[in-house]
Structure 1
Amino acid sequence: MKNAQPDILFVMADQLAAQFLPFHGHPLVQAPNLSRLAREGVVFENCYTTSPLCAPARATVMNGLLPSRTGVYDNAAEFPSSIPTWAHYLRLAGYKTCLSGKMHFVGPDQLHGLEERLTTDIYPADFGWTPDWRLRQERIDWWYHNMTSVLQPGIAEITNQLEFDDEVAFLAIRKIYDYVRFEPEKPFCLMASFTHPHDPYAARRKFWDLYRGEDIDLPKVPRMERAALDPHSQRLYDVSAMDDYTVTEADLRAARHGYYANISYVDDLLGQMIRALEATGRLDNTVIVFTSDHGDFLGERGLWYKMSYLEPSAHVPFLVWSPKRFAARRVKEPVTIADILPTLTAIANDGVATLARPVDGRSLYPLLIGGMEDPDGTAWGEYLAEGAIAPLYMLRRGPWKFIHSPADPDQLFNLGDDPLELVNLAPSHPLAAKFRAEVEAKFDIPRIHSQVLESQQSRLMMFEALKRGHHFPWDFQPLRDASEQYTRNHMSVTDRDLKSRFPHAPDIEDKRRR
């Protein structure tokens, strides 16, 4: 059955930098399903995370707002239930909405408008991972990143992360079949959110063996001594204890090898979902959206992981595939993951995104249908979590990227001339002052700084209090009524067998002997 409204498959990877994908020019990584979607779909070449850390980025994906607008400052900040998400808007438009996988929601609300959630999360939903800016650059050892992820890559047939993503894909595929068998008249938006290729960089042999160790490329920007890094990058170097271990060239290649293998693994899981849509006859009427929450330095400059507005950490993939609706094209105008809420809402409502409150993103529907790009289009970012000691901002417009924090010297890069961001033009270029004035006009930085500090201290206190006495977890407990799933004595065996079959059998009653 073909719906007037499209079904939507929204797939999200974790810590996937755009530069490591074949449709962004990487010569080695194998991702045939993503490459097909990119070839036939709309690729936003310059999409940025609003906040290069899991929970604040994913909250923005859901609600279209920057962290200071919501209080979702870091990986342990509560996502308020009173903020509308795309799931609310799509439900109003008649959609079934469902999440399989990771979203790192913090707080007792683990749905945020979604009708169903199929898995628990891979990371905790409480206040335990709250950073403390009073400590400046001091590590919080029990949960901060360290270099063990870089030193353990290799072949692993099962890990915490692989177990999670296997379940995410299996349940997402089953949900596709459930929608088609039991509720075929309704459009659906199914989000499948994977934890790969996030470190640690261990991968199954099937995907590891797609690459030869000697072919793995080294970083485009070799390791820099700590003193040569900008002040924020120096803090990242310290908070992730990057000087605790010696990382050899072999370690570097192995980590990148595992990362590439896990991109191929996510691509394979995506392919399985596409094949399920094909098998059910729904693919032609499905819009597939793919993105990530943030990137990974993967050894560039000697840095790892994220928490920065430099390209490997901040530049993420974003594509929309629906060849019968949107002609293939590549859009250069800068966009962000804050644009996802209004864009999904527009897709579900024939191009119109009517929202209950203003958001920081804008609908990309006009660009999907071939509209002209805006040469002054601006991508904004705001980072308020660990690794920083004061609010950190990004402005991306045309070829220019400007990074500002009151704690550090400004940075200005012309990405057209300097894609590796090696020459900071801020000390001498007049645009730096203009962009800084724009940032300071848009954000009340002293007030935001004060609010972040207050939130951190409140949450640190509450986490200690909630460890005393009886503990009631906020972590999501999947609600699956197995007692109704297969054949039970309050059902007709024949009716259940016929209804759960897809494609449905011919009308057997026509063959009954009269």
Structure 2
Amino acid sequence: MSRPNILFVMFDQLAALSLAAYGHPLVKTPNFDRLAARGTLFENAYCAAPLCSPSRFGMLTGLLPSRIGAFDNASELPSSVPTFLHILRQAGYRTCLSGKMDFTGADQLHGYEERLTTDLSPSDLGWTPDWDHPGKVEPWYHTLQSVAEAGPCDYSLSLQYDEEATFKARAWLHEQAGARDNRPFMLTLSVMHPHDPYQAPRRFWDLYDEAAIDMPAVPRRRAAQRGPAERRMHALYDRDEIPISDTQVRRARHAYYGMISYCDDLLGRLLDTLQALNKLDDTIVIVTSDHGDMLGERGLWYKMTFFDRAIRVPLIVAGPGILGGRRVSPPVSHLDLMSTFAEMSGVPLDGLAQDGRSLWPTLTRGVQPMGEVRAEYMGEGYQYPTFMLRRGDRKIVCSTDDGVSLFDLAADPRELNDLALTSQHAEELARLTSEIAATWDADALRQQVLASQRRRRLVHAALVTGKVAPWDFEPRQDAASAYYRNYGVDLPDPDAALRLPRKAMS
């Protein structure tokens, strides 16, 4: 059998726990649901860091972000670090990106052969945190303004970007189908939704009755009752500066659900395009997100914490050779994708260090994954690295300044009962804490983070002084070859190459 095409669809800030396929009773996602029914759904998939860039860079490389200096949203992904795009391209795939990937620095491709759009976020070092001055509030920090202003939306920057990225991805699929280049493709569509601000396109807002929108299962707690993570997030983006009412919480959740239904619509457009091109049956479709969203649970929003709503992501795979109608319970990680693509494409990693394990045996033969994942956070709002280990149903979160928390996710899925506070789990806690210490040197890593931040702040200050030479990716377009431009000058009919059904040859 010829090698399958790959369609990789990535959403931003889409929590697995907000999808119908993961048990949510309200959210309407028929395309996600159909994809899950004909493929394999990983019930407990995790990102490598609950923040955009570190998560994406870990996913692309199979390495914990700290191993490549990807500490925060202003970190570079070193050009010399292989990604799964390099692996697939070496295997003969035509690799293309439409949409965002949060690349910082001069390299805006990292193994992609083509890129159809510019990015959405800055490509410079301006969003570098400052652990030297942890109390400083940067202008680019989140606030609760997006919660206060939540509602339906007729047009927005995010909507414009996602429509452009999706349109160009679909156009590329049509062009690829008629091209002389007969390599299999690996197309990535990566969009902004359902990332805040919580503004749902009106058509998708109207799918939901606001009175039926569920409120957070775990309400916001008083200051004296908050745990370390809640206090930390309050200091980062809340600080009681923008009071939020129950009505605003409900509207933000309403908007988020509408935004997810919009994401489902984007996914459906791509699947319809593959179907129209007779490519769906020979294309592996992978859907995921870079991280989740707390969505008001515990009074928290966005990400940057290790509660499951923030760090657990959807991961659904369907296509030729993939087992259908299957749900996999043991925990897996984005870090597993690099090894998975390597095994799928037959490109040996040749001793390259990896922090993940191939999921290909799980996807094709039903082999159960090992059930262990690691994650970390070194971005804004913190002063020390924070680490997470999940093994089976146990999850431990550990940092120098916040201490240790231990949860049994089978018995306590809302993470309300911290087993670290009880003496009966002292032995288990000591064993897991020792394991974390053997994986990460927290003090040494903190010094690396501080040194990296200082370097990047200096470089950024210099590069925005005088004449600025941006790193932003600028898509190339050859207007002379677009549409009917110059048709008739020894060029074939451009419409005949794209029209469906295909024009009959005379």
Question: Could you tell me which residue of structure 2 aligns to residue 396 of structure 1?
Answer: 390
**Are 2:356 and 1:358 aligned?**
no
Contact kept? 2:323, 2:366, Cα under 8 Å? no
| Bigger Cα displacement from structure 2, 232-241 vs 486-495 | 486-495
CA distance in 2 between counterparts of 1:356 and 1:108 reads 28
Indicate which of 298, 311, 314 corresponds to 1:314.
Answer: 311
Q: Give the stretch that moved more between structures: 263-272 or 474-483.
A: 474-483
CA deviation string 1:185-228 (max 9, x = no partner): 22000000011000001111110000011010000101112332
Deviations 1:313-360 (A, max 9, x none): 1111111011653233111111111112221232333xx653561111
Residue pair 1:40, 1:323 contacting (<8 A) in 2 also: no
- Partner AA of 1:12 in structure 2: M
User: Match of 2:461?
Assistant: 464
Give the letter for the 2:308 counterpart: E
Which residue identity does 2:218 align to in structure 1? V
Q: Which of 247, 252, 257 matches 1:250?
A: 247
The one of 27, 30, 34 equivalent to 1:29 is 27
Q: Is the 8 A contact 1:165 1:196 kept in 2?
A: yes
Task: Please tell me whether residue 40 in structure 1 is matched to residue 38 in structure 2.
Answer: yes
Aligned residue for 2:113?
A: 115
Q: Are 2:151 and 1:157 aligned?
A: no
2:215 equivalent among 208, 214, 218:
218
Match in the other structure for 1:92: 90
Q: Which amino acid aligns with 1:420?
A: R
Q: Which whole-Å deviations, capped at 9, do the CAs of 1:246-299 have from their partners, x for residues lacking one?
A: 111100000000000000001001000000000000000010001111111100
Task: Determine helix, strand or coil for the equivalent of 1:457.
Answer: helix
Gaps of at least 5 residues in structure 2 are none
Q: Any idea what SS the aligned residue of 1:9 has?
A: strand
TM-score under structure 1 normalisation?
0.95
- How many residue pairs match? The answer is 502
Q: Is the 8 A contact 1:55 1:75 kept in 2?
A: yes
Q: Does 1:236 align with 2:233?
A: yes
- 2:192 match: secondary structure: strand
Distance 1:133 1:189 in 2: 39
**Is 230-239 or 358-367 further displaced after alignment?**
230-239
Partner of 1:105: 103
**Contact 1:18 1:315 (8 Å CA) reproduced:** yes
Q: CA deviation at 1:506?
A: 2.5
8 A Cα contact 1:334 1:396, kept in partner: yes
1:136 is matched with: 134
Alignment of 1:296-335 (within 5 A): 296-322=293-319, 324-335=321-332
- Are the aligned partners of 2:4 and 2:320 in contact in 1 as well (CA < 8 Å)? no
Shift of 1:30: 0.3
Local SS of the residue matching 2:191: strand
In structure 1, distance between residues paired with 2:79 and 2:92: 21
Shift of 1:377: 2.7
Q: Is 1:284–1:324's contact at 8 Å kept on the other side of the alignment?
A: no
CA distance, structure 2, for counterparts of residue 37 and residue 500 of structure 1: 27
Q: Deviations over 1:12-54 (max 9, x none)?
A: 0100111100011100000000011111111111111110000
Classify the secondary structure of the residue corresponding to 2:336.
helix
Give the conservation status (yes or no) of the 8 Å contact 2:39–2:322. Answer: no
Which of 62, 65, 77 does residue 64 from structure 1 map onto?
62
Specify whether residues 275 and 468 from structure 1 end up closer, same or farther in structure 2 by C-alpha distance, changes over 3 A only: same
Q: Within 2, Cα distance between the matches of 1:269 and 1:242? A: 36
2-structure distance, mates of 1:224, 1:93: 52
> In the alignment, is the contact (CA less than 8 A) between 1:64 and 1:340 conserved in 2?
yes
The residue aligned with 1:266 is: 263
- What is the match of residue 75 of structure 1? 73
Task: Decide whether the 8 Å contact of 1:100 with 1:171 is kept in 2.
Answer: yes
User: Counterpart amino acid of 1:366?
Assistant: P
TM (normalized to structure 2)?
0.96
Measure, in 2, the Cα distance between the counterparts of 1:400 and 1:465. Answer: 46
| Residue 504 of structure 2: aligned partner | 506
CA distance in 2, matches of 1:498, 1:161: 34
In the alignment, the residues of structure 2 paired with residue 253 and residue 184 of structure 1 have an alpha-carbon distance, to the nearest angstrom, of 50
Is contact 1:232-1:387 (8 Å) kept?
Answer: no
Q: Distance in 2 between matches of 1:234 and 1:33?
A: 38
The one of 206, 210, 228 equivalent to 1:209 is 206
1:431 Cα shift?
1.4
Q: Distance in 1 between matches of 2:350 and 2:502?
A: 39
In structure 1, which of residues 486, 491, 512 is the aligned counterpart of residue 489 of structure 2? Answer: 491
**Residue deviations 1:339-389, cap 9 Å, x none?**
12221232333xx65356111111100111233325x53100011111221
Say yes or no: does 1:196 pair with 2:193.
yes
Classify 1:176/1:96 alpha carbon distance in 2 versus 1 (closer, same or farther; 3 Å): same
1:147-198 deviation per Cα after TM superposition (whole angstroms, max 9, x unaligned): 1110111121110110110011100100110110114622000000011000
Aligned match of 2:372 in 373, 378, 389? Answer: 378
Does the aligned pair in 1 maintain the 2:283–2:320 contact within 8 Å?
no
Q: Distance in 1 between matches of 2:125 and 2:447?
A: 19
2:404 aligned with 1:410: yes
**Match for residue 512 of structure 1?**
none
User: Any conservation in 2 of the 1:288–1:320 contact (CA below 8 Å)?
Assistant: yes
Once residues 444 and 183 of structure 2 are traced to their aligned partners in structure 1, the CA distance between those partners, rounded to angstroms, is: 46
Q: Tell me how far 1:461 sits from its aligned partner.
A: 1.3
Q: Tell me, yes or no, if the aligned pair for 1:202 and 1:258 is still in contact at 8 Å.
A: yes
CA distance in 2 between partners of 1:325 and 1:318 (Å): 13
Q: After the TM superposition, list the runs of 4 or more consecutive aligned residues in structure 1 that deviate by more than 4 angstroms.
A: none
Task: Give, as a single letter, the amino acid of the residue that structure 2 aligns with 1:358.
Answer: A
Question: For each residue in 1:470-506, what CA deviation from the matched residue of structure 2 results, as whole angstroms up to 9, or x when unmatched?
Answer: 1011111111222222334373355434334344323
Letter in 1 for 2:444: R
Cα RMSD for the two superposed structures: 1.5
Distance 1:362 1:504, change over 3 A: same
Tell me the amino acid that sits aligned with residue 55 of structure 1: S
How many percent of aligned residue pairs carry the same amino acid? Answer: 45
Gaps of 5+ in 1: 509-514
Q: Which amino acid aligns with 1:146?
A: T
Q: Taking structure 1 as reference, are residues 361 and 87 closer, same or farther at Cα in structure 2, changes over 3 Å only?
A: same
